[in-house]
């Protein structure tokens, strides 16, 4: 099987490349990435065909899909704050890019898995969330993800294309960068704690998230492309956990064996207060996937960050 992973040099994408190629079952992997958020070093030592380009470039996308059986479309401009700052860039990458992928996939009859986001629920405060609950995006990023997943599902009805739209919930793990303005909360907190810096907490820290370890995500994505799982509705890729940020900080302190300082600042525009999936449909569709517990996933992520620190000290 030949698989195209857009955004394959990014955090989730490069972990998925490693997951697939480490299985050594004759899978070919093509990566399409423009390195706007991904890093070529994430692919070091991995046997992939790399195409440098953007999903917003129609010709590059058509080149990338030639001969592929499945596409995992992870390429996007992530981050709510980034989209608030530059909504047009998010629209071009996330909506136009997804449409390019779908059109190219239609030409070669490739199966498409798309990474949407729990941010589409936005102002809906119901917990836990089912895929059948109403959506109300609170940021341009969330709008692009909702629009793109609608395209992904519409291509099933209009063209018979085999597709699956996952809504990711706060994925974390090794290779997730902490060194940029739009870093996710777990790498930001871990980097700060390891450098004895105050942890910036937006708001009171009572906001909660359904954290999903990246290896759990990769196992689910690989199972999807192996079985060509199709759903006419989106699927939450999270398993029903709920962790408050204050409890996350306490867990980090426990793992590291020392206390950290919290610096509470104003909440960010577009951030949701609480996010949690009910975990029902993901377990129905992927009963073989056993999610990694936050305790275990955080231990592995800390070990990866400490490894980076060790390499940095040796240079």
For 199, phi then psi, to 5°, come to -90, 120
Which uninterrupted H or E stretch holds 251?
Answer: helix 245-256
Residue boundaries of the structural domains of the chain? 2-170+212-237
Q: How far apart are CA 218 and CA 37, in angstroms?
A: 19
> What integer pLDDT is reported at residue 98 of this predicted model?
98
| pLDDT classification of 314: cutoffs 50, 70, 90 | very low
Cα distances (angstroms) measured from residue 123 to each of 1, 136, 144, 219: 40, 5, 16, 30
pLDDT of residue 18 exceeding 60: yes
CA angle 310, 43, 8 (to 5 degrees): 125
**What would the mean pLDDT of 258-285 be, rounded to a whole number?**
86
pTM score over 0.85? yes
Whether 278 and 216 have beta carbons less than 8 Å apart is answered as no
Q: What is the pLDDT of residues 203-259, one digit of tens each?
A: 888 888 999 999 999 999 999 999 999 999 999 999 999 999 999 999 999 999 998
Q: How far apart are CA 147 and CA 162, in angstroms?
A: 18
| pLDDT classification of 302: cutoffs 50, 70, 90 | very high
> What integer pLDDT is reported at residue 73 of this predicted model?
98
| pLDDT classification of 183: cutoffs 50, 70, 90 | low
Domain 2-170+212-237 CATH assignment equals 3.40.50.300: no
Number of residues in the chain: 315
């Amino acid at each position: 099987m030949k698989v195209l992973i857009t955004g394959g040099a990014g955090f989730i994408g490069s972990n998925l490349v490693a997951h697939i190629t480490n299985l050594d079952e004759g899978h070919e992997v093509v990566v399409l990435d423009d390195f706007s958020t991904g890093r070529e070093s994430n692919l070091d030592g991995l046997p992939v065909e790399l195409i440098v380009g953007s999903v917003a470039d129609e010709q590059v996308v058509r080149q990338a899909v030639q001969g592929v059986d499945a596409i995992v479309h992870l390429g996007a401009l992530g981050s709510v704050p980034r989209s608030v700052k530059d909504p047009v860039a998010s629209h071009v990458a996330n909506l136009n890019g997804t449409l390019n992928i779908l059109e190219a996939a239609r030409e070669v009859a490739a199966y498409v898995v798309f990474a949407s986001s729990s941010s589409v629920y936005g102002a809906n405060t119901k917990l836990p969330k089912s895929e059948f609950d109403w959506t109300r995006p609170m940021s341009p990023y969330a709008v692009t993800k909702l629009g793109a997943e609608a395209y992904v599902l519409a291509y099933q009805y209009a063209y018979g294309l085999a597709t699956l739209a996952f809504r990711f919930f706060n994925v974390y793990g090794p290779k997730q960068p902490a060194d940029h303005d739009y870093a996710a909360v777990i790498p930001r907190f871990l980097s700060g704690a390891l450098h004895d810096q105050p942890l910036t907490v937006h708001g009171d820290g009572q906001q909660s998230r359904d954290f999903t370890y990246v290896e759990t995500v990769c196992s689910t994505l690989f199972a999807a492309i192996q079985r060509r799982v199709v759903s006419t509705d989106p699927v939450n890729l999270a398993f029903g956990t709920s962790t408050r940020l204050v409890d996350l900080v306490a867990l980090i302190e426990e793992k590291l064996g020392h206390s950290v300082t919290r610096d509470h600042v104003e909440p960010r525009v577009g951030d949701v207060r609480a996010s949690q999936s009910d975990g029902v449909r993901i377990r129905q569709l992927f009963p073989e996937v056993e999610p990694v517990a936050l305790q275990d996933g955080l231990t592995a992520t800390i070990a990866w960050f400490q490894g980076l620190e060790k390499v940095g000290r040796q240079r």
